[in-house]
Amino acid sequence: MRGGNGLALLLIGLVVTVPLPARAQAVGEVSVDELVARALVDNPDLKAARLEVDASAGRLQQAGLRPNPMLELGGQKALSPDNNLTVGISLPLDLNGRKEGRVGVAAREIETRRRQVAERERQVRAEVRMKAGELLAAQRNLRVTDELLGVNRSALDVVGTRVRHGAAPSLDEGLLLVEVNRLDANRQLAQSRVEIAALQLKLLAGMAPDASLTLKGELALPPLALDLVGATERAVSDRPDLAVARSEAAMAAAMVKKEEAEGLTATGGTRPIQDVFHYFGGGVSIVLPLRNRNEGNVAAARAATRAAERRVEFAVLTVQQEVGAAFTQYEAARRSLDIYERGVRDLARRNLDVIRQAYQLGRGSLLDVIAEQRRLIDVENGYTDALKQVYDAAVGIERAVGTGAR
């Protein structure tokens, strides 16, 4: 009877000694990098942001056009035989840099929109990598659960045969049956997590929910190519959101020039009346900048420029903090993973081996083996979490730097 139990436990113990089988690459498998490239092309939010750039280009074109002349017709019918017909043409004039002011603002706007697209690309790149990490972690946990479930089902068949021949107690079969059912329930949850992560990843990549997606790769990234100092310098220099803040400051400065052109001459004084009165067999109605020289809009534009400059300074400080925090998180995650790899997983395997051998020698029960196997499952799940923390921290550094740190 003890020999039958030993055979069952031998099969259970295989899970800690037999490596996971290599999976054949399915048609349509993509790597994380390939999925990122696809998302940068097909992500719906990015497509919308690029259309906003096109809209800004249209406004830039419009800003460079001169105002259209206006034809005015009027007439009067008197009670006497006399009639009056009035024909007038109104031609708005772009004086004192008005056109240049409009074009300057529109040009800065389109530059800001382009920077915003680059910033959204940075966010999408990081979001896809993060979600891909969730999917890879879910796939790893599912594979571990599948392996354990397969081993325990095989052990259950062997023990069932032994019980029917009177070589093993029926209790052992019941205990293994409970363990198989528990693992089967866990597998259903693990499978759902894989499917949910895949659906969320498809959304980011601009794929239909029913599209086929098989993600290849493991929860591992190459070593970092930058240290903290180099990463901080690159982030402050190249990060798209900082470029957006700088572009907004430049656009605010261009707005000051535009508002000044609306109320002042090129020399800073009010426009003389002779600059704007033109008579051609009729009259012209204009607004003279005597009481209102656009001082309020100019002051508002100057204040907006100063505010934009302060936002740039704050953004620089924020970027420096984010890079430092990302490196701190990465180093902590690496230390945690090293502990799992050196002092947790191997020890958990040895503990299960010892409990299994003790059971084979009649010094323990099947419950002890099952309990140790469950602890091993917890360890493997914890190891997956540690792998993902390192992966997420590396992606966090890439997000913080903005142009990649690998």
Give the SS3 label for residue 71: strand
User: For the segment 318-349, what is each residue's pLDDT rounded down to a tens digit?
Assistant: 999 999 999 999 999 999 999 988 888 888 88
Q: Judge whether 70 lies within some domain.
A: no
pLDDT of residue 2: 42
Q: Which range, 85-94, 104-113, 285-294, 384-393, has the best average confidence (pLDDT)?
A: 384-393
Q: What is the mean pLDDT of the segment spanning 300-326? A: 89
Q: Judge whether 257 lies within some domain.
A: yes
Contact (CB, 8 A) for 1 and 172? no
Question: By mean pLDDT, which of 129-143, 195-209, 210-224, 285-299 is the weakest?
Answer: 285-299
Q: What is the domain count for the chain?
A: 1
Q: Judge whether 287 lies within some domain.
A: no
The one-character DSSP state at 209 is: T
Contact (CB, 8 A) for 201 and 35? yes
Q: What pairs with residue 295 in β-bridges? A: none
Per-residue pLDDT for 1 more than 90? no
Q: Judge whether 101 lies within some domain.
A: yes
> Which pairing describes strands 83-90 and 214-215: parallel, antiparallel, or unpaired?
unpaired
Q: Which residue bears the tokens 């204040």?
A: 303
User: For the segment 61-71, what is each residue's pLDDT rounded down to a tens digit?
Assistant: 887 887 777 77
Give phi and psi for 227, each to the nearest 5: -90, 180
Per-residue pLDDT for 199 more than 50? yes
CB atoms closer than 10 angstroms to residue 81: 5
Q: CA–CA distance from 404 to each of 113, 128, 131 (Å)? A: 22, 14, 17
Vertex 253: Cα angle to 252 and 255 (nearest 5) = 65
Q: How far apart are CA 154 and CA 369, in angstroms?
A: 16
Widest pairwise Cα distance in the chain: 131
> Which pairing describes strands 83-90 and 70-77: parallel, antiparallel, or unpaired?
antiparallel
Question: By mean pLDDT, which of 65-69, 277-281, 353-357 is the weakest?
Answer: 277-281
Q: Which tokens sit at 287?
A: 């607004």
CATH number at residue 192: 1.20.1600.10
| pTM score, whole prediction | 0.73
Q: How far apart are CA 38 and CA 44, in angstroms?
A: 11
pLDDT of residue 286: 52
CA neighbor of 145 nearest in space, from 122, 178, 179, 105:
179
Q: What is the mean pLDDT of the segment spanning 286-315? A: 77
Q: Judge whether 86 lies within some domain.
A: no
Q: Which tokens sit at 377?
A: 């499952």
Q: How far apart are CA 252 and CA 309, in angstroms?
A: 9
Q: Judge whether 90 lies within some domain.
A: no
The one-character DSSP state at 26 is: P
Q: Which tokens sit at 132?
A: 């891909």
Q: How far apart are CA 291 and CA 111, in angstroms?
A: 35
pLDDT of residue 261: 76
Contact (CB, 8 A) for 10 and 158? no
Q: Judge whether 31 lies within some domain.
A: yes
Q: Judge whether 223 lies within some domain.
A: yes
CA neighbor of 300 nearest in space, from 248, 244, 255, 247:
255
User: For the segment 159-182, what is each residue's pLDDT rounded down to a tens digit?
Assistant: 788 788 887 788 888 988 999 999
Per-residue pLDDT for 124 more than 80? yes
What is the distance of C-alpha 146 from the center of its chain? 31
Counting DSSP H helices and E strands in the chain, the numbers are: 10, 4
pLDDT band for 106, please (50, 70, 90 cuts). confident
Per-residue pLDDT for 387 more than 60? yes
pLDDT of residue 139: 93
Per the document, the length of the chain is 406
Vertex 225: Cα angle to 224 and 231 (nearest 5) = 90
Q: Under the phi-then-psi rule, with left for phi > 0, alpha for psi from -120 to 50, and beta for the rest, what region is 14?
A: alpha
Query: Which domain range does residue 190 map to?
Result: 2-65+96-273+293-401
